[in-house]
Amino acid sequence: MQKYDLVVVGAGPAGSCAAAETAKKGARVLLIERKAMVGSPVQCAEYVPRQIKRYVNIYPEMTVQRTEQLHTYINDELCSNLSAPGYILDRVMFDRKLAEEAVNCGVELWTKARAIEKIENSVRVVVKGETKDIECRYIIGADGPRSTVGAWMNSQNEHFMPAVQWTLPLRESRDNTEIYFDAEYVGGYAWMFPKGRFANVGVGVCMESGAKLTELHQRFIRKMVTAGVIKDELPIYKTGGIAPVGGPLPNSVYENMLLAGDAAGQTHPVSAGGIMNAVICGRLAGQAVAEALKKDDIACLSGYETAWRKILGRHLDEATAQRRRLDEKWTMESPAFADLIRETWLAFA
């Protein structure tokens, strides 16, 4: 049986950053990813705030363009221009570069490898069709919104924002991200994020809303075409996915396991953005495991929970309260709806 100090499940931003941090300290780290290629297919609108540079190296090939302001529309009326300097990533390259950095730190990366079960001190992995039991001392679950490791810990996300997105041609390039609130996008919003000559155009709603996502998305696209912003309705890429919006899970550490990123519900519960938090928390999770290995003391893992809460806890708790308010008070009544968005959306804070 193969033996590692740490198995990290999921090679998204959280997993690659976690794996790199532990491997840097000389530990034997295995990073497993169920996809055939890290980062692909993309399920993301690809915006990150520019402060992400504090936590990861941003290489030119990772970004497509810069954005400057966040424009917020309520019922098609521009209500806020917020300075929000950011990057639109090439998310494939972003995830791949982070995984490459982890490998350069000594991490072993397996693709087409899916964690399916925890058996005592081992993780059962199906890799390229073959089942293997991998013995390890610690496990980090960085395996996204519906985390398998989270199921082993009995700590899983329950509230999600499903979304659909097409990448469509712009008439003219732009440098602002745009968010559209409309009572029909129940619990969510529509977005248009410029990506060079194209834009990621999507709609997300609250999962329990019963809103007809595809229909709303089509209508939003048509509106953008009619307004002369989008050239035509022919996408170069179609995607979608779910983002956890219930806020951080009460437990991100259990026995020898930790959760990071979407798996831990560290995604912003109102905006559903989670890349930067995944990077921050992934690094902290990897550092906690390195500490536990160095001191040969599993109790060091609890330092992870303390560390990420110190940086993000208050911010995420406040956003979770805003999410609850949005879900409880969502209304089709026009003035009340606009007031609710002004009270809960981050551009009006």
Ligand X SMILES: Cc1cc2nc3c(=O)[nH]c(=O)nc-3n(C[C@H](O)[C@H](O)[C@H](O)COP(=O)(O)OP(=O)(O)OC[C@H]3O[C@@H](n4cnc5c(N)ncnc54)[C@H](O)[C@@H]3O)c2cc1C
Smallest separation (angstroms) from ligand X to the CB of 333: 28
Dihedral of alpha carbons 333, 339, 343, 344, sign: positive
The three-state secondary structure class of 173 is: coil
Of 10 and 247, the one with the shorter C-beta distance to ligand X is: 10
Applying CB under 6 A, which residues contact ligand X?
A: 9-15, 32-35, 43-48, 114-115, 142-144, 148, 163, 165, 202, 240-243, 261-263, 267, 272-275, 278
Of 45 and 70, the one with the shorter C-beta distance to ligand X is: 45
Smallest separation (angstroms) from ligand X to the CB of 155: 14
Of 281 and 341, the one with the shorter C-beta distance to ligand X is: 281
Of 56 and 278, the one with the shorter C-beta distance to ligand X is: 278
Smallest separation (angstroms) from ligand X to the CB of 296: 28
Smallest separation (angstroms) from ligand X to the CB of 15: 6
Of 11 and 192, the one with the shorter C-beta distance to ligand X is: 11
**237 DSSP β-pair partners:** 167
The stretches of 163-311 forming alpha helices (DSSP H) are 213-226, 275-295, 302-308
Smallest separation (angstroms) from ligand X to the CB of 316: 12
Alpha-carbon distances of 245 from 64, 94, 145, 209, 248, rounded to whole Å: 27, 23, 10, 14, 9
Of 13 and 286, the one with the shorter C-beta distance to ligand X is: 13
Of 14 and 229, the one with the shorter C-beta distance to ligand X is: 14
DSSP 199-216: EEEEEE--GGG---HHHH
Of 69 and 298, the one with the shorter C-beta distance to ligand X is: 69
Smallest separation (angstroms) from ligand X to the CB of 6: 14
The phi, psi pair for 172, rounded to 5°, reads -140, 145
Of 96 and 137, the one with the shorter C-beta distance to ligand X is: 96
Residue 94 CB partners (closer than 8 Å, separation 6+)? 13, 39, 62, 63, 275
Q: Are 134 and 1 in contact (CB under 8 A)?
A: yes
Smallest separation (angstroms) from ligand X to the CB of 202: 6
Alpha-carbon distances of 311 from 120, 176, 276, 281, rounded to whole Å: 33, 27, 12, 9
Of 144 and 337, the one with the shorter C-beta distance to ligand X is: 144
Smallest separation (angstroms) from ligand X to the CB of 141: 9
**What token pair was written down for 319?**
């956003």
Alpha-carbon distances of 216 from 12, 81, 88, 309, 311, rounded to whole Å: 29, 24, 24, 36, 36
β pairing state of 130-141 and 2-9: parallel
Smallest separation (angstroms) from ligand X to the CB of 37: 10
Smallest separation (angstroms) from ligand X to the CB of 297: 27
Long-range contacts at 110-113 (CB < 8 A, ≥ 24 apart): 110/30, 110/31, 110/32, 110/33, 111/11, 111/33, 111/35, 111/36, 111/37, 111/38, 112/33, 112/34, 112/35, 112/36, 113/32, 113/33, 113/34
